[in-house]
């Protein structure tokens, strides 16, 4: 593991970062605070709408500003490649502004307006003028104001088209600077907020940035880093961008969270049940992380409409849901009427750690966050349960379950930062540094550098 490398002259001016909770491992060498952040700027142009990739990097003193002692985290690039979707052999994109087409490391020409993309064997064409191109093909913006649209998303940056793994269609990928990518993420992950929540928007930007850098090259064999949906982070292009979120991104530009010289798993979720979770109790396969520890944050989450909630099922309805979905959780599950369901063990923060389901004379166990996928909600589409913090009431007749009621709290997996909690902390005057260190124990805020 690489270590923090600070010149001896800097050690005499370091002072503590002041964590909200004590570190859970041996003391870390101290570093100076980030410089003061300028005050929020007014909202402008607001829309009407609202396993860690091991990075070969090292933290070193920022030679551009040695007097601050601010560390930087070296990364291989400050751009991100986002998979927008899988396209059929014939589809259309629309470009606005100056775009050049690059293929086999050469400039193949320019495109404008509506562009019909078609596949012919191992080659593709872009409209009638650019034929017989060997993929992957990059459609590169030649100016900052360039935009392209695909599948309802209008995006900044470049469009990359490459064959999919099956060899039938295409992967459509948006490559753009990390800071521009975050403008399309933060509004959708935390919503449209007013100036009282500005510090929470900053923390959301830092968490999303940290997560994104940790995912670079995660899907290198397919040419992209992250998905554009909940598989990673929701990214919707330029739609929904608004001034205050963009200002939060700009005022935290390049700042990420590290622990033990490594980018952290910057998990976050909607609403806490009153306490966040130790990661190993929710996802045992991910192991313990010293910065993802349980913290009590009830006071900051009670304003959420899903701080408490209730779901109810008839025995027949829950049997149907389990029969339709349990095979994806427990491979040997056999479809049958539900005979019993109960909680066997809780986590230290009160979420369900082990759920027992009895059906057809067989006993099955579901662990941690997967319990939300087992007890799907009875509404249309059967979305997963809001959280794994719930208490069950079960009625049985004749050896079968006839009614189940779940009284629960919170929304999401419960690991890392509660977004509602961060908003609540910001509204009572906490800074983005205080919020980040409260939810991510013992982390250090540093800047990325190529």
Express each pLDDT in 338-366 by its tens digit: 999 999 999 999 999 999 999 999 999 99
Segment 129-146 shows an average pLDDT of 86
Residue 102, pLDDT > 90, answer: yes
Strand partners, 242: none
Segment 266-294 shows an average pLDDT of 95
Per cent of the chain over pLDDT 70 is 84
**How far is the C-alpha of 387 from the C-alpha of 189, rounded, in Å?**
17
Tell me how far CA of residue 78 lies from CA of 17, 25, 62, 175, 178, in angstroms: 26, 31, 17, 11, 6
pLDDT of residue 144: 81
Q: Which 8-state DSSP code applies to residue 43?
A: P
Segment 214-225 shows an average pLDDT of 94
Least confident of 5-19, 201-215, 311-325: 5-19
Express each pLDDT in 410-432 by its tens digit: 999 999 999 999 999 999 999 99
Residue 38, pLDDT > 90, answer: no
User: What totals of helices (H) and strands (E) does the chain contain, helices first?
Assistant: 10, 24
Q: Which residue has the tokens 């060498």?
A: 29
Q: What is the pTM of this model?
A: 0.81
Residues 404, 407, 411, 416: is their CA dihedral positive or negative?
A: negative
Express each pLDDT in 119-130 by its tens digit: 877 788 887 778
Per cent of the chain over pLDDT 90 is 69
**How far is the C-alpha of 205 from the C-alpha of 189, rounded, in Å?**
10
Q: Which stretch, 1-15, 21-35, 278-292, has highest mean pLDDT?
A: 278-292
Segment 311-328 shows an average pLDDT of 96
Residue 69, pLDDT > 70, answer: no
Residue 166: is it exposed, middle or buried by C-beta count within 10 angstroms (0-12/13-18/19+)? exposed
pLDDT of residue 248: 97
**What residues does each domain of the chain span?**
8-79+181-266+419-449, 89-168, 269-414
Residue 247, pLDDT > 80, answer: yes
pLDDT of residue 35: 35
């Amino acid at each position: 593991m690489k270590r923090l490398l600070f010149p001896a002259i800097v050690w005499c001016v370091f002072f503590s970062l002041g964590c909200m909770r004590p570190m859970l491992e041996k003391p870390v060498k101290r570093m100076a605070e980030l410089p003061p952040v300028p005050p929020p700027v007014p909202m402008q142009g607001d829309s009407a709408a609202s396993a860690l990739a091991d990075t070969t990097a090292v933290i070193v003193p920022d030679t551009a500003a040695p007097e601050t002692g601010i560390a930087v985290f070296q990364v291989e690039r400050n751009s991100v490649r986002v998979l927008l979707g899988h396209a059929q052999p014939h589809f259309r994109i629309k470009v606005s502004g100056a775009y050049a087409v690059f293929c086999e490391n050469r400039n193949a020409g320019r495109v404008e307006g509506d562009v019909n993309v078609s596949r012919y064997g191992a080659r593709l064409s872009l409209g009638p003028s650019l034929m017989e191109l060997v993929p992957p093909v990059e459609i590169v913006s030649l100016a900052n104001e360039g935009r392209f649209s695909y599948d309802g998303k209008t995006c900044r940056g470049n469009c990359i088209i490459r064959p999919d793994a099956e060899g039938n269609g295409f992967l459509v990928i948006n490559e753009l600077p990390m800071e521009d990518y975050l403008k399309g993420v933060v509004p959708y992950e935390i919503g449209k907020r007013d100036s009282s929540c500005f510090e929470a928007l900053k923390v959301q930007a830092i968490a999303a940035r940290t997560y994104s850098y940790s995912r670079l090259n995660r899907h290198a064999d397919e040419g992209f880093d992250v998905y554009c949906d909940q598989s990673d982070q929701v990214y919707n292009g330029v739609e929904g961008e608004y001034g205050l979120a963009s200002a939060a991104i700009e005022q935290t530009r390049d700042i990420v969270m590290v622990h033990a010289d490594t980018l952290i798993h910057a998990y976050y979720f909607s609403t806490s049940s009153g306490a966040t979770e130790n990661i190993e109790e929710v996802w045992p396969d991910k192991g313990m992380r010293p910065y993802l520890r349980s913290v009590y944050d009830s006071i900051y989450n009670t304003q959420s409409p899903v701080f408490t909630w209730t779901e109810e099922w008839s025995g027949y309805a829950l049997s149907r849901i389990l029969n339709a979905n349990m095979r994806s959780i427990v491979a040997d599950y056999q479809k049958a009427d539900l005979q019993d369901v109960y909680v066997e063990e809780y986590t230290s923060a009160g979420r369900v750690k082990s759920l027992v389901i009895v059906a057809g004379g067989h006993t099955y166990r579901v662990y941690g966050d997967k319990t939300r996928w087992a007890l799907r909600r009875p509404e249309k589409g059967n979305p997963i349960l809001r959280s794994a913090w719930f208490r069950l009431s079960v009625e049985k007749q004749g050896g079968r379950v006839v009614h189940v009621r779940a009284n629960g709290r919170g929304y999401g997996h419960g690991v890392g930062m509660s977004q509602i909690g961060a908003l609540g902390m910001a509204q009572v005057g906490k800074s983005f540094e205080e919020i980040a260190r409260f939810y991510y124990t013992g982390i250090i805020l540093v800047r990325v550098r190529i």
